[in-house]
Structure 1
């Protein structure tokens, strides 16, 4: 019996070995290398000649924590996340609940329409949104002026640049989350809704006491994915505003890009990457802790 188990274990390790090797080569090794890089002053001079490379310990991290530009990027990233995550989850969950209703016609078509932005090239759609948000010729301002409202300089003012990018990001990603919610909603038994209707529960109470508890694990998963995604915003502000105006849309990842590929401070950029990882990890742990606590209180 033991030989059979051993043979099975060997076969299992043989099947997973290629994946483990790929993870080690393309993930673990680069991560370790980046961590070591963050402890050096690797720059364009070291890139030309490794003799110029010096070990500086935690100086990159100390310099970042005293850099107001880094803290500004962190504040912008938190602002994007605090506003964007609830908005994206609410929009995707609302769309999923609507499309899950059997009374909605052409449901497959609507699913494709809502999911299409997610699979569309990000840069192309960002450029399109730039034209839509144009102060003078954009269709959004044309709609506003048509109903008697003043045109808005969406991407030219710090007060409106963040909401403008948020509109684009939520439109871009909510279709993916919608499909996840839609899949789990279809697993909720109809008997639960029927029992709730018999007890006199209206649509809101059915959603609160039947739908939400049934999709709670998926809601946690989507929230973790969304937080990680908003913490890693880069392409959207890079294409739409180049971090402006007045650095109001510079995110941590955008700051890391400029450190590494504009100023060639690759050691500092690696330090930014690990600080960002620690932030995402900490927020994820808080989400998991809150989910367990709320779940325990509920039970």
Structure 2
């Protein structure tokens, strides 16, 4: 009996070769690295390099006069960090930043959520117009907004004090008072930034199935009960995202006091970012970078706490 075997097609024999998949994977890896090489070079040159360089500067006594001989500076360990933490103005700036964040973030999120609920449930006509109107301050230059608000809060002929004067109320010097300067900056920041969180909240609300509210309504839950016990828990991931992003932004607030108050009066609106910037201007590069990294650690810790408290359970 003769055994007849059919010859395998060439394509099958080629694919069965163990070396070809390996060669193809190698070529794909090379092609991938070629495509990402520009990003890697730019990242190392303009992000990772400066970050590592500034971290090294924070442990030296480098000043403006040392720029021509940057490798001749002396290491000082954690002296810059100790000096920053013992600086009375830096502690005042840290308190101002905490004040701005503790009041500003909750107010921004509450206003944003209220506007999102209003657009999702109440306003049906011209909804797109309201979205654009609320979001427009977010994409407007913060410097332009700060200049306009400085005129609005002017003690002599500002819009706010003019309106208060119609009711016989003498408005204060909003930006020149140690009592009202920071609340004024917080009010401006809430007005400018709530539109961004509102858009995110609105997307979260529209992603909740209508059947959830219908089930709660059938169980006899009122509007507030449905919102408190059904909608808000389902919005937990959205609340986490907006809280983290808003908190990180507010911890770094800089343009508002820089343009509107220059940190005054009596350093009542000086922020950590602004004070570190001023130290850079004075040529205290080691001290300034240590302040920046203290702020970085605070941001990381606050973000970690927010994730722990608001994560899904």
Work out whether the TM-score is over 0.5.
Answer: yes
Does residue 111 of structure 1 match 2:131? yes
Distance in 1, matches of 2:172 and 2:210, equals: 46
Q: Structure 1 residues 15, 121: closer, same or farther in 2, change over 3 A?
A: same
Distance in 2, matches of 1:138 and 1:35, equals: 44
Q: 1:210 — aligned with what?
A: 230
Q: 2:291 — aligned with what?
A: 272
Alignment of 1:1-299 (within 5 A): 3=22, 12-50=32-70, 53-101=73-121, 103-261=123-281, 263-292=282-311, 295-296=312-313
Q: Structure 1 residues 207, 18: closer, same or farther in 2, change over 3 A?
A: farther
Report the CA distance between 1:101 and its aligned residue: 1.8
Q: Structure 1 residues 215, 14: closer, same or farther in 2, change over 3 A?
A: farther
Query: TM-score, normalized by length of structure 2?
Result: 0.88
Report the CA distance between 1:47 and its aligned residue: 2.2
Moved more, 190-199 or 168-177: 190-199
SS of structure 2 residue aligned to 1:125: helix
Moved more, 233-242 or 5-14: 5-14
SS of structure 1 residue aligned to 2:52: helix
Q: Structure 1 residues 195, 20: closer, same or farther in 2, change over 3 A?
A: farther
Distance in 1, matches of 2:238 and 2:88, equals: 37
Aligned CA RMSD, in angstroms, stands at 1.9
Report the CA distance between 1:213 and its aligned residue: 1.6
Distance in 2, matches of 1:94 and 1:38, equals: 43
SS of structure 2 residue aligned to 1:158: coil
Q: Residue 98 of structure 1 contacts residue 104 of structure 1 at CA under 8 Å; is this kept in 2?
A: no
Q: Which has the larger radius of gyration?
A: 2
How many equivalent residue pairs?
Answer: 293
Report the CA distance between 1:29 and its aligned residue: 1.2
Q: 2:10 — aligned with what?
A: none
SS of structure 2 residue aligned to 1:84: helix
Q: Structure 1 residues 8, 100: closer, same or farther in 2, change over 3 A?
A: farther
Deviation digits for residues 210-256 of structure 1, max 9, x if unmatched? 22122111110110111111110100000000000110000000110
Moved more, 73-82 or 24-33: 24-33
Deviation digits for residues 33-55 of structure 1, max 9, x if unmatched? 10011111121211244476322
**Structure 1 stretches lacking a partner, 5+ long:** none
Query: TM-score, normalized by length of structure 1?
Result: 0.92
Q: Structure 1 residues 18, 193: closer, same or farther in 2, change over 3 A?
A: farther
